[in-house]
Structure 1
Amino acid sequence: MHIGINAQLLSLGQNYRNGGVSRYIRYLLTELAKAPGEHTYTVYVNGPDVIEHLGVQHPQITYISAPWSETRPIERVLWEQGTLPSLLQKQRIDVLHSPVNVLPVRIPRRCATVVTLHDLAFLRYPEVLTRAKSIYHHLFTIRSLRRATKIITVSESTKQDAHDLVHIPLDRLHTVYPCIDQRFSNVSEVAKVQEFRQKHGLTDGYILYLSTLEPRKNIPTLINAYHKLRQDYGVREKLVLAGSKGWLYESIFARVHELGLEAEVIFPGYVPDSEQVEWYQAASVFAYPSLYEGFGMPVAEALACGIPVVTSNVSSLPEAGAQVALCVDPQSVEAVSQALYRALTDTELKERSRIQASSVAQTFSAQRMAQQTIEVYEQAANTLQKRMQRVAFVS
């Protein structure tokens, strides 16, 4: 088959755009370049610099670049909805994969479609999105889910959401877990951990959060739990809130100020890919009490680095926690605080986290993700072919 992949949201910039969905696309393309199967691929990206820096080539894969970057969403949407359909027709694409929620409105009749659904936060928690993002998802994401031949969901939780909230039949939904990059799969030596902590003035250790600063991540509750942790147990570890400012983040900084924690809560800003492993491995605990996640990749990455993790017991986060993380009610300051204290002091939990790091990495491997994705492409093509045969027979 000839498979098209709309990789317009692939970003290699050093900012929040190089986050979850961009890394999902990058890891998928990297793995397909190693093992593309029997198919050929045309990948649509933003700008020739993306192709150059992506650094993955294979004779079965062709890259076509649009003349703008992912930082210009209006142009991207216009290209996606206006230009891409004609390219699909011209290049005789058999299966189009849109890796981030949205398909073009117009699709050639003989082109099967696969869309990856990362989450339905705009339906579960509409208040945590800007109005523009909410309108976009209501206009395009729901329509795409209803029209797609097959849908990849990044967790069983997201699969159930698609069934419950958008009424998508379960036989069109296929869970394929995202992968963890191999660089997260090593447990660091104690000496390197101490060296990193010393370099950043964190010699007593630290509780790490690493993701975009936005409302859905429930960071004010984490700050409150940390404040309680210091009051009740006198812990000396700092709280590191690492990540770019996303949207509606003002309450985070306000809460730190209200509690007088300016000297204890560290904001290092965006952490580039090259430094993320060190931040994970040197942490005493990783904390991620998000209210809702399609998958929750930082949880799996931290576990693969061998450190204890405290996360939420809602949505997909227990899946990302792989039966290793401590999963608690994210709305309860008391529960989060107690779990953090256990993660900081329970030597058995620390050892179990270290030992099971390799099994977590294997569960969320790139090879498994790519192979299962190719299988969905093939199922989508077969489904469309059978559908067209039925139509031809009836007519």
Structure 2
Amino acid sequence: MTVALIAHYLGPRLGIGQYLERLLPPLIEQLIGLNIPVKIFASPNAFDKTPALQKLENYTKIVPFLDYSPSKRYAWVATSFSTYCNKENVKTVVWLSNPIVLPWHPPTLAVIHDVNEWKNANKYGDRLKTALRSAIYLDASIRFSRKIIAVSKATEKDLLHFRPQSNLKEKLKAIPNGADSPLVNLKSVPVQMPSGPFLLSVGRIDPVAKRLPEAVALVSALRESSGEGWELHLVGGMNTTTQSAGEAFLKSIESLPWVTYHGHIPDNELAEWYRKASAIVFLSDQEGFGFPIAEAASFGRWVVVSQSNEAGIEAGGQAIIPVDSQKPKAGAALLLQQLQKPNSPVANQNLLTWEATAKAYAEEISGMLK
């Protein structure tokens, strides 16, 4: 009765990679404590980019097919996945991201991170591609999964709004991602920092989805209204689907000496940037959770978020400053007003830790085996 956790993503360790890094160690521990045999089916890219998977090597089997192109990966999962599970003695499957669930597969728990395919018809280049992704990852999961986990209350709300079927309500449960960050416990390292105030942006360099031009406009408004030399520092990588847009955005800001792109940096350096930032900016309004928001709150930093981003408001607890991303002057005024207050924000103690999240996952998985 082995359970297989499927861990895969393409490109650098961004949202899904961070989720796997945080969730897998306590989840494996919880399942072992329940005497549930477990394996991790990991893509080569996920294994190479996720230290937690490397530490869990004894439980992990590399599955090259998971790194195939979307069409080839779907073809393999559709035709060969059940046979592969039988060979590995896997009786229950947990897709931790981008689930592909079909009726002839073993009983499946699917984790849904967001429903952007339903929110934005052109999210993946055109309506046809987006509709296909919706059918493969979202609609099939709703129809064929035994259980579904949403990574936030906001994602649960979106799922029920776009697909208000009674069978979804019966199998859906929101288990919010942990809001604690192990980065807080990393030792301080020397990193060259700006001498003046700055906003830090952490995440994928996707100018449209992450509202990066709006972040630039916000810092420009801060410079103008405060008379100080505010800067914007960008940390993160790019994935293949938005690389051209990301590169074009970086080209467009080359003339701005107060905007700096640092690329993907080690965790100990990222922790130092969080500690020293005046505030964090994360203006995306289409997030399923928002890791940088939760991490910033763990460091006691204010986070400027889009007032339309319900998941971000959920993840940030007391640390968020919601703004209209299209009104940079008003947003700058709100931030400056908040920074004048003597106390830093306190992380919301009502949010789950990753240990609690893993325990809730393990209970759902255990329930499927009875």
Place the TM-score, normalised by the shorter chain, in its bin. 0.7 to 0.9
User: Per-residue deviation at 1:47?
Assistant: 3.8
Counterpart pick for 2:27 among 32, 56, 61: 32
Partner of 2:6: 6
Cα deviations by residue, 1:241-293 (Å, 9 ceiling, x for unpaired): 22223413356346536xx5x10111112223342211211211101111210
Cα deviations by residue, 1:203-245 (Å, 9 ceiling, x for unpaired): 1132100100111111111111211221122122211122223
Q: 2:319 aligns to what SS in structure 1? A: coil
Partner of 2:215: 222
Distance 2:181 2:316 in 1: 18
Partner of 1:183: 182
**Alignment CA distance shift 1:301-1:213 (3 Å):** same
TM norm structure 2: 0.85
Partner of 1:386: none
User: Per-residue deviation at 1:147?
Assistant: 1.7
Structure possessing the higher radius of gyration over alpha carbons:
1
Counterpart pick for 1:265 among 251, 259, 262: 259
Equivalences for 1:114-125 in 2 at 5 Å?
Answer: 114-125=109-120
| Greater shift in the superposed pair: 299-308 or 39-48 | 39-48
Partner of 1:387: none
**Alignment CA distance shift 1:367-1:305 (3 Å):** same
Cα deviations by residue, 1:279-333 (Å, 9 ceiling, x for unpaired): 2112111011112100111100011012121112223111011132112223332
Partner of 1:237: 230
Cα deviations by residue, 1:153-179 (Å, 9 ceiling, x for unpaired): 011111011111123432321111223
Gaps of 5+ in 2: none
User: Per-residue deviation at 1:106?
Assistant: 4.5
Counterpart pick for 1:21 among 16, 19, 23: 16
Distance 1:255 1:338 in 2: 26
Partner of 1:393: none
Cα deviations by residue, 1:87-140 (Å, 9 ceiling, x for unpaired): 2234443321111132232434xx321111000112112334334862541230
Counterpart pick for 2:205 among 213, 224, 228: 213
Counterpart pick for 1:158 among 155, 165, 172: 155
Gaps of 5+ in 1: 383-395
Over 6 Å off, 4+ runs: none
1:45 aligns with 2:42: yes
How many residue pairs are counted as aligned between the two chains? 356
**Alignment CA distance shift 1:281-1:5 (3 Å):** same
User: Percent of aligned positions with the same letter in both sequences?
Assistant: 21
User: Per-residue deviation at 1:43?
Assistant: 1.4
**Alignment CA distance shift 1:45-1:204 (3 Å):** same
Distance 1:379 1:153 in 2: 17
1:65 aligns with 2:62: yes
Distance 1:22 1:316 in 2: 18
Kept after mapping to 1: 8 A contact 2:183/2:267: no
User: Per-residue deviation at 1:364?
Assistant: 3.7
Partner of 1:292: 286
User: Per-residue deviation at 1:149?
Assistant: 1.3
TM norm structure 1: 0.80
Counterpart pick for 2:306 among 291, 312, 320: 312
Distance 2:352 2:259 in 1: 31
1:337 aligns with 2:337: no
Kept after mapping to 2: 8 A contact 1:186/1:304: no
Partner of 2:95: 98
